[in-house]
Chains A and B, each alone.
Chain A
Amino acid sequence: MIASVEAKPRARTSALPRTSDDPVELFARWQQHGDTAARAALVQRFMPLARSLARRYDRSSEPYEDLMQVASLGLLKALDRFDPDRGPSFASFAIPTILGEMRRYFRDSGWSLHVPRGDKERALKVRDAQETFANEHGHAPTVSQLSQYLELDPETVIDALLAIQAYESLSLDAPRPGGEDDAITYGDTVGDEDGRYELIELDATIVGVLDRLPQREREILRMRFVEELTQTQIASRVGVSQMQVSRLLRRSLDQLRSLTQDEEQAG
């Protein structure tokens, strides 16, 4: 017996009866006779399909292992339900079954209603790494530097950077210890002659509108566009992250635009 196994080195599933690896027969043995060895052979054969689907399905925030688990469950269901006599190939039956299982799982778990925790944690990690890097090097990192530092692929870092702005609930607004919030005065923000000139122009065109923004937003706008500081420099002055400066700039420019529009419409 040993000799015959060795004589067929390609029969890697030596624990299984080597009667056939024909899927049709394996399906018959499993579905009609409950032969678990046949099922194991089918699982082994089609697991790459499940793995491929778990990898492809766009759920970057979920751990791959979780996706794999749900995909495997879908594969088992497909093995039970596939009718070799009627359907086309097993793969074309299994793919929708497995994907259906994954979609149902995530919908039932309320996934689509919440920002996944993994996303938030990653966003915070990217934010912290950004600050650490900026403190150490005196300038902001690139995405590839962040991706090396965090051992995440660049696309994930970009996703996190873009997502950070959407997370209002992350307490990103809270000033950091050591911030210089109180130290900022009007005088600090006026730079050289050019800066002063532009400040006047800025004030002249949106007079009254800028003043309606909170003090901190006003200061950050002045630092960026009058003093022309980088966002990282502003972040260390104000004591928030650069991501937060970015978000405050976007939001306050947005508010300025709609206030200006309202003014114009009012006459």
Chain B
Amino acid sequence: MARLPNVRLDLSNRPENVLLVRETLTGLAEAVGLDAGELSDVRTAAAEACNNVVLHAYSGEEGPLEVEIDVGEGCLRLVVRDRGVGMAQDVLSSANGENGIGLPVIAALAHRVDFGETAGGGSEIRMEFETPSVRELAPAPGEGFELAPFAEIGNAGTATVSVAPAPLARAIVPRLLAVLAARAHFSTDRISDTQLLGDAIVAHAAEALSGSHLGLTVAVEPRALEVSVGPLIPGRAAGLIRQAELDELGLLLQKLADRHELVSAGSHEMLKLHLLDQR
């Protein structure tokens, strides 16, 4: 089986979601030691490709924006994908107006750019960046690679991130949760609490995960976040909760989240945490 990317984001093509991609890359840079110049290049190129999906992939409708990031030996690989009309290359390279700038910008910043089609007729842009200081970051072996099988993928109001290994999750997950908490109109108090929750999830979920990747699906409502953690091994999720009642993490999880529940998702379990900002 082909190696899964270190990070996968399943978003909708709303303009505000480009920020999630940028913040993911910033967190990743922290974890893998990308310097600020390299990070700027990657973020700029990623933003060009994502904005293209935002503006052109669905002719004004809403649809999936998928981003995959893989950390290789001395390189970063990025895929930006849509399930839309499959005209990424045409739009990015068309000579008229600002649309035509996208591809030359990406080509100037990335070491290599390829275009492909997705099964449903959408398109993908694959970019490779030379980042000499970066070492390969393989997801933990064993257990089998499996991305979070979230039913909500593509649901416009939710964002899903799947990430491995743990050091990468540690740098990315709290950051993304903070951005989403800000979007839910949380106060800075609760934004910070949400980061603490992210830290706790990353620190303690490893033993309960059923695959190599930690997955989080976050639904954003006004003053409310619903964070689904998984996929978890059946039984382990309950164990996590039981354990949560015994050690200090349990107290943390209970106090940072307003309530939690276990949800069965196919052959897996999910831990659903609800956070509110009741000021």
| A residues whose Cβ falls under 8 Å from a Cβ of B | 49, 52-53, 56-59, 89, 91-92, 95-96, 99-100, 103, 106-107, 111-113, 130, 139-144, 146, 154-155, 157-158, 161-162, 166, 198, 201-202, 205-206, 224-225, 228, 230-232, 242-243, 245-246, 249-250, 253-254, 256-257, 260
B92-106 to A contact mask, C-beta < 8 Å, 1/0: 000100101100110
Q: Which residues in A have their C-beta under 8 angstroms from that of B107?
A: 96
Q: Is B41 an interface residue (CB 8 A)?
A: yes
Bound-complex Cα distance A161 to B178 (A): 9
Bound-complex Cα distance A135 to B101 (A): 47
Given A91-B95, A111-B37, A202-B248; 7 other pairs, CB 8 A cutoff: A91-B101, A141-B187, A158-B178, A242-B192, A246-B188, A246-B192, A256-B248
* 6 closest cross-chain pairs (CB), A and B: A246-B192, A96-B108, A140-B187, A95-B104, A112-B36, A112-B37
A231 to B: closest C-beta gap in Å: 5
| Contact across chains for A225 and B252 when beta carbons are under 8 A apart | yes
Q: Which residues in A have their C-beta under 8 angstroms from that of B242?
A: none
| Contact across chains for B109 and A99 when beta carbons are under 8 A apart | yes
Q: Is B185 an interface residue (CB 8 A)?
A: yes
| Contact across chains for A95 and B191 when beta carbons are under 8 A apart | no
What are 16 A-B residue pairs whose CB atoms fall within 8 Å in the complex?
A: A49-B101, A52-B101, A58-B22, A58-B47, A89-B95, A106-B37, A112-B38, A143-B185, A143-B188, A158-B19, A162-B26, A225-B252, A231-B193, A232-B187, A245-B192, A253-B200
- Interchain CB contact (< 8 A) of A142 among B187, B251, B252: B187
Q: Which residues in A have their C-beta under 8 angstroms from that of B30?
A: 166
Q: Is B143 an interface residue (CB 8 A)?
A: no
Q: Which residues in B have their C-beta under 8 angstroms from that of A111?
A: 36-37
| Contact across chains for A100 and B108 when beta carbons are under 8 A apart | yes
B186-217 to A contact mask, C-beta < 8 Å, 1/0: 11111111011001100100000000000000
B41 to A: closest C-beta gap in Å: 7
| Contact across chains for B35 and A112 when beta carbons are under 8 A apart | yes
Using a Cβ cutoff of 8 Å, how many contacts connect chains A and B? 134
B240 to A: closest C-beta gap in Å: 15
Q: Which residue of B lies closest to A115 (CB)?
A: B36
Q: Which residues in A have their C-beta under 8 angstroms from that of B23?
A: 158, 162
Q: Is B246 an interface residue (CB 8 A)?
A: yes
Q: Which residues in B have their C-beta under 8 angstroms from that of A95?
A: 101, 104-105, 108
Q: Which residue of A lies closest to B42 (CB)?
A: A58
Bound-complex Cα distance A53 to B100 (A): 12
| B residues whose Cβ falls under 8 Å from a Cβ of A | 19, 22-23, 26, 30, 35-41, 43-44, 47-48, 95, 98, 100-101, 104-105, 107-109, 175, 178-179, 182, 185-193, 195-196, 199-200, 203, 246-248, 251-252, 255, 279
Q: Which residues in B have their C-beta under 8 angstroms from that of A107?
A: 37
| Contact across chains for A143 and B191 when beta carbons are under 8 A apart | yes
Bound-complex Cα distance A72 to B212 (A): 47
Query: Considering residues A92, A143, A245, A260, which has the most beta carbons from chain B within 10 angstroms of its beta carbon?
Result: A143
Q: Which residues in A have their C-beta under 8 angstroms from that of B104?
A: 91-92, 95-96
| Contact across chains for A253 and B199 when beta carbons are under 8 A apart | yes
Known: A103-B41, A139-B279, A225-B251. A56 touches B101 (CB 8 A): yes
Q: Which residue of A lies closest to B179 (CB)?
A: A158
Q: Which residues in A have their C-beta under 8 angstroms from that of B251?
A: 198, 201-202, 225
| Contact across chains for B179 and A231 when beta carbons are under 8 A apart | no
| Contact across chains for A205 and B246 when beta carbons are under 8 A apart | yes
Bound-complex Cα distance A158 to B180 (A): 10
B113 to A: closest C-beta gap in Å: 12
| Contact across chains for A58 and B43 when beta carbons are under 8 A apart | yes
| Contact across chains for B47 and A139 when beta carbons are under 8 A apart | no
